[in-house]
Amino acid sequence: MCIVMLWLVLCSVYLVIVPVVTANGRLPNNTLPLHYDLHLEATGLGLHDYTYRGNVSIRIAIVSDTNEVVLHNVGNTLKSICLRRCRDGEEISHQLLESEPASELLRIRTDRILRRADDQVITLTIVFHNTLGKDRMGFYRTQYRGAKRIPMAVATTHFQPSYARLAFPCFDEPGFKTTFQITIVANGSHLVASNAPIATVTWLQDGHKAVRFERTPPMQTYLVTFLIANFTSVHTASPSGVEIGILAPPKDKKSLQFSLQAATTLLSSLEEYTGQSLGLQKLDHVAIPQFGNAMENWGLVAYDEQFLVLSAKAHRLQRAQAVLTIGHETAHQLFGNLVGPAWWSYLWLSEGFATYFELLLGADAYPDLLPLEESFAVRHMHPALMADAYEQHPLTVEPLSANTPEIETLFDTITYSKAGCILRMINCSIGEAAFQAGVQNYLEQHRNGIVTPEDLYASFFVQQRKDTPTVEQMFRSWVDKPGYPVVTVERLNGSFVRFRQQRYHNQEVTTQDITSRWFIPITYYTNSSLGQYEYQPAFWMKETDQELVIQLEMNTRDVLVVNPRQIGFYRVEYDERGWNSIVDNLTTLPSIMQAKLIDDAFVLARAGLVGYELCLEMLQELATSPDPVPWLIAMAEENIGYLQRVLQSAEFDRFLTGFVGEMFDLAGNVGRTLLQSQALDVAYDWWSRLAASFIESKRESSIRPRACLPTPVQEVVQALVSPDDHVRERLFARLKCLPKQSNEPSVLLLALNRIRAANLLTPGKLFAVLESLIKSDPGRFLPPTVQFLSSIPPEEAGPVADRFQRLLNLIVHEVTDRRQAAQVRKLMVKNSSILPANFLPHASTVMTSTISWHMKQVPKLREFVHDSHMASIYEREGHQ
């Protein structure tokens, strides 16, 4: 039943946005939602009754004649469905076609044709009920410990990307922006919050209250949120008049001032930079127990507690992470919420800008905590270049079906960090003023709307020289295809230099794609160039240029570093003379350049393009004056981690122990910047691992760190399924510092089997966990992962075949011996039905070439380590 009277009052067309709709499980485009009235009653919270009742009324425009209304619904039990024409309240009879669980669609067939001209706007009212789950999806429940450790229930939401449909029937696609008027009936003692400010509170006879919120601006379903909890809050007003609030459990009230201050400062900087107001009267940030990460719900952003609750003594690392996370989510209020991607294909538009601005805003407000250039290099450039070396996806992913597990895989390093790096590269290429004007224009033109990448490109008006690509060409070159180039630099006579470009691949032999080329901004440093080409490009290599000879500003004795400030998203390879002059001058260069050179050298060595001797020489140069930036890059798992694993040399391990000791000495007990704190964490991690390898060699059994005690299976299970990345990282650190002969890998295997048997993670999420496990220490975690994957039938991995393939690809590049290669080959044969036809031959070639490289190179490298007396560097300096 629906109420006709309310009907006529509410029926006015508010906003029409025609969504971009294609096939592949997407909603049909003949009806368009305009407004939701959502009424939810969850009065049992706190009484162990987690059911809730709902009533949603959706005003829908008929865009073209149809006899169907199709929307999303998962798990809501429908009690009644009513359709009425708005104009006169005429009831439209209909039948409910079966809900389609696989497609998550709810299909309503009307008995007569709905006419665009005659019916115009109809209202669909659905009464339903449901129960708050515990899976951190939809409208769900969690808890914290209150006074006397009594569990206190919290009801909250997580809707991105496609979980609003789990909470109420809706048109759950990001291309639909509608207004929402939400009413929540809850227990009188609870704090109730949602996207918009409270309009009215009505006390009901049974001690409950009905909290009605103001109408929201037009927004996507994935940003809708509501919260019911025994929470407290602190508030302040931003200079632009937005009421900023931090909401948290009462015990944390004294620890919310830092985040309140940060949230206010970061919002002000964002509004100032973009020239755009938030468009909301309030912006709350809420600390949700066990939330894991953060989510940019418009006007009520959700965070894991660690990002908002900081005592006065909170470590600088925690404060830096809080600033970055609050900055990221605040940036989303404009990039993603105010101006949102029309489909998940363009997710990079919101995540790229949020990533870019988290550091820009953070470094501006907290320069001591977050040095911009260095933090960008370590946090985004290094991981994005690493991730994009594997066959992954371009930033714009088209076509993209409506399959939720597939959409979820896009929330990755490419979409976040690579997109952030590309935005920074474009910024430096066109200049800050032109970039800022373009960004302002983009937000202004599309305020409250939805966008595709073309809308962004069209927002920049830049007068370019003839030999420079247009802004659209710059973007498209890096956005529409995966991967990036390696630029080869060859010094010719005098100051002439030959530049070549080719797609970078992890292994020399895998270069099937040798045709991709990019518009590459070439920046450089020489002793004579006086810093003028370090950020803005001196010239561009075009997509048509495979090779180019250019005269640079330099003398023959100058050192030449290309892409010195890590602005360009590419790697650089030099000729022998170039590398030699770099090694000789390494310690005289700024640390950001050292980091780039070290990273490129290690990665090119791994791809077989230069010898590892070069990396070892660079390490020796850095050995006695480590700076956190090059040190962090050098110590990455993909760089020194890989070398240490394949070398298995006690001499090299002794060198590393000294190298790690230098970092402890330098950063001291309390790090000062994010990078120093990170360096200390990494140093501790390495120290534990090196200690473990010493135990294996039974030389020093007393240095086993206390954090390395065996871990019970149930604890491993809990850490693996935790949404909190830090919990998992702590587990990995514990597992990898144990001696290899301990039974931890089998504990891991037991835990993985238990997770699978009890369905504690979806296959997609499980594969993501395995990916992070391998990345953290392939030598240790690869064997149990392969063993575990061998027990999974192809039907189970099939629905997330992309993710499975990505995991296998990672494994293939980490295989170092014949026995492992045989196991991996067996695994691939078993799953050949869900892998592309060329996957197995390609993977086999990669593994064979890596193994033969090992057999040839490893003995030579061990000899180099021995002959160069690397291990004795610290002994000469008086270190142990």
Residue 393 is labelled as binding a ligand: no
* Nearer of residues 351 and 662 to Zn ion, judged by Cβ: 351
Query: Which stretch in 147-155, 349-357, 689-697, 774-782 sits in contact with Zn ion by CB under 5 A?
Result: 349-357
Query: For residue 611, what are the contacts with CB-CB under 8 A and spacing of at least 6?
Result: 605, 857
349 binds Zn ion (CB under 5 A): no
Token code pair at residue 339: 């101006």
CA distance 683 to 507: 29
- Tell me the closest approach of the beta carbon of residue 22 to Zn ion, in angstroms: 24
Query: Which stretch in 129-137, 197-205, 344-352, 460-468 sits in contact with Zn ion by CB under 5 A?
Result: 344-352
Query: Which stretch in 345-353, 445-453, 591-599, 785-793 sits in contact with Zn ion by CB under 5 A?
Result: 345-353
* Type of residue at 92: I
According to DSSP, the residues that pair with 191 across neighbouring strands are 229
Give the strand pairing for 51-62 and 121-131. Answer: antiparallel
* Nearer of residues 354 and 400 to Zn ion, judged by Cβ: 354
CA distance 279 to 498: 52
Check 104, 173, 329, 637 and give the catalytic one: 329
* Nearer of residues 124 and 354 to Zn ion, judged by Cβ: 354
Count residues contacting Zn ion (CB under 5 A)?
A: 2
- Tell me the closest approach of the beta carbon of residue 389 to Zn ion, in angstroms: 23
Locus of tokens 């970092």: 663
Would you say 67 and 113 are in contact if contact means Cβ atoms under 8 Å apart? yes
- Tell me the closest approach of the beta carbon of residue 411 to Zn ion, in angstroms: 8
The 8-class DSSP code of residue 362 comes to H
The 8-class DSSP code of residue 19 comes to P
Number of residue whose CB is nearest Zn ion: 354
Would you say 70 and 83 are in contact if contact means Cβ atoms under 8 Å apart? no
- Strand ranges in 171-215 using DSSP code E only, listed in sequence order: 179-187, 191-194, 198-203, 208-213
Packing angle, helices 839-867 and 612-622, rounded to 10 = 50
Query: For residue 744, what are the contacts with CB-CB under 8 A and spacing of at least 6?
Result: 710, 711, 735, 738
Handedness of CA 835, 841, 843, 844 (dihedral sign): positive
CA distance 331 to 267: 8
* Nearer of residues 723 and 783 to Zn ion, judged by Cβ: 723
Q: Has 795 been annotated as catalytic?
A: no
Q: Closest Cα to residue 402, out of 336, 351, 340, 344?
A: 344
- Tell me the closest approach of the beta carbon of residue 556 to Zn ion, in angstroms: 48
Binding residue (CB under 5 A) for Zn ion from 127, 287, 354, 800: 354
* Nearer of residues 31 and 375 to Zn ion, judged by Cβ: 375
* Omega before residue 161 within 30° of 0, cis: yes
* Nearer of residues 410 and 633 to Zn ion, judged by Cβ: 410
* Nearer of residues 407 and 656 to Zn ion, judged by Cβ: 407
- Tell me the closest approach of the beta carbon of residue 636 to Zn ion, in angstroms: 24
The 8-class DSSP code of residue 97 comes to P
CA distance 870 to 655: 6
* Nearer of residues 351 and 412 to Zn ion, judged by Cβ: 351
* Nearer of residues 351 and 408 to Zn ion, judged by Cβ: 351
Output the CA–CA distances (angstroms, integers) from residue 514 to 54, 363, 387, 673, in the order listed.
56, 39, 19, 41
What is the full DSSP assignment across 271-333? HHHH------SEEEEEEETT--SEE--TTEEEEEGGGT---TT--HHHHHHHHHHHHHHHHHH
CA distance 820 to 839: 17
Query: Which stretch in 343-351, 524-532, 715-723, 800-808 sits in contact with Zn ion by CB under 5 A?
Result: 343-351
Token code pair at residue 11: 């029926």
Residue 328 is labelled as binding a ligand: yes
Query: Which stretch in 354-362, 547-555, 821-829, 859-867 sits in contact with Zn ion by CB under 5 A?
Result: 354-362
- Tell me the closest approach of the beta carbon of residue 42 to Zn ion, in angstroms: 28
Torsion, Cα 67 70 73 78, to 10 degrees, reads: -20
Query: Which stretch in 14-22, 40-48, 350-358, 645-653 sits in contact with Zn ion by CB under 5 A?
Result: 350-358
Would you say 781 and 774 are in contact if contact means Cβ atoms under 8 Å apart? yes
* Nearer of residues 179 and 297 to Zn ion, judged by Cβ: 297
- Tell me the closest approach of the beta carbon of residue 328 to Zn ion, in angstroms: 5
- Tell me the closest approach of the beta carbon of residue 218 to Zn ion, in angstroms: 20
Would you say 299 and 281 are in contact if contact means Cβ atoms under 8 Å apart? no
CA distance 828 to 805: 10
Would you say 777 and 732 are in contact if contact means Cβ atoms under 8 Å apart? yes
Query: Which stretch in 111-119, 319-327, 351-359, 407-415 sits in contact with Zn ion by CB under 5 A?
Result: 351-359
CA distance 798 to 406: 12
CA distance 16 to 459: 22
Residue 332 is labelled as binding a ligand: yes
- Tell me the closest approach of the beta carbon of residue 17 to Zn ion, in angstroms: 22
Alpha-carbon Rg of the chain, whole angstroms? 29
- Tell me the closest approach of the beta carbon of residue 301 to Zn ion, in angstroms: 10
Residue 615 CB neighbour total at 10 angstroms: 22
* Type of residue at 625: S
Locus of tokens 């508030």: 235
* Nearer of residues 419 and 487 to Zn ion, judged by Cβ: 419
- Tell me the closest approach of the beta carbon of residue 354 to Zn ion, in angstroms: 4
Binding site listing for Zn(2+): 328, 332, 351
Binding positions are 328, 332, 351
Q: Cite the active site residues.
A: 329
- Residues lying near Zn ion in the complex (CB under 5 A) are found at 351, 354
